[in-house]
Amino acid sequence: MLRFFLSSLIILSFQSVCFSQDEYFLTLRYDKVNLRQGPSREHPIKIFYKKKFLPVVIQDSSGNFRKIRDHENNSGWIHISQLSKKKAALVIEDNLIMFKNPTIYSKPIAVFKKGRLARIIKCEGKWCKAKSNQYKGWLKKDSLWGLL
């Protein structure tokens, strides 16, 4: 009976480690954010981010720090106070056309290069209404990477 109990406990703990919380997106809250090598302020800084609303994938947590991965697969730890739930995304397709309405048959407004940051207003089906600098219109959802 003890053997059964121990093996069950090991299986359950292994399962919780392997299948912990799913990854999710957040964005950077400020123009200057430090990516650290470990989950504390004592760990050295790996990268300085200088782009507010840059989307990042949250992979893990330790206290008030979150392990993140960016669009270039850089990973490290950021304090939770530096992250936001504001919706934003990066264009991952070169020459992405922004349209006035959520259809390819509507008026084109602008053409975005790969890497352009856009604030997401709302998403409907396969389209997201977004704003980037002076442009406001609809982008194809499958051409975006971030918090939609």
pLDDT tens for each residue of 64-100 = 999 999 999 999 999 999 999 999 999 999 999 999 9
Asked if residue 11 has pLDDT above 90, the reply is no
Give CA–CA dist 142/147, Å, rounded: 12
Q: Which superfamily, per CATH, for 21-84?
A: SH3 Domains (2.30.30.40)
* Predicted pLDDT at 21: 63
pLDDT tens for each residue of 107-131 = 999 999 999 999 999 999 999 999 9
Band of pLDDT at residue 148, cut at 50, 70 and 90: confident
| 21-84 against 88-146: fold identical | yes
pLDDT tens for each residue of 15-61 = 444 444 689 999 999 999 999 999 999 999 999 999 999 999 999 99
CATH number of 88-146: 2.30.30.40
- Residue extents of the structural domains in the chain: 21-84, 88-146
3-state DSSP assignment of residue 33: strand
Higher per-residue pLDDT: 133 or 18: 133
* Predicted pLDDT at 92: 96
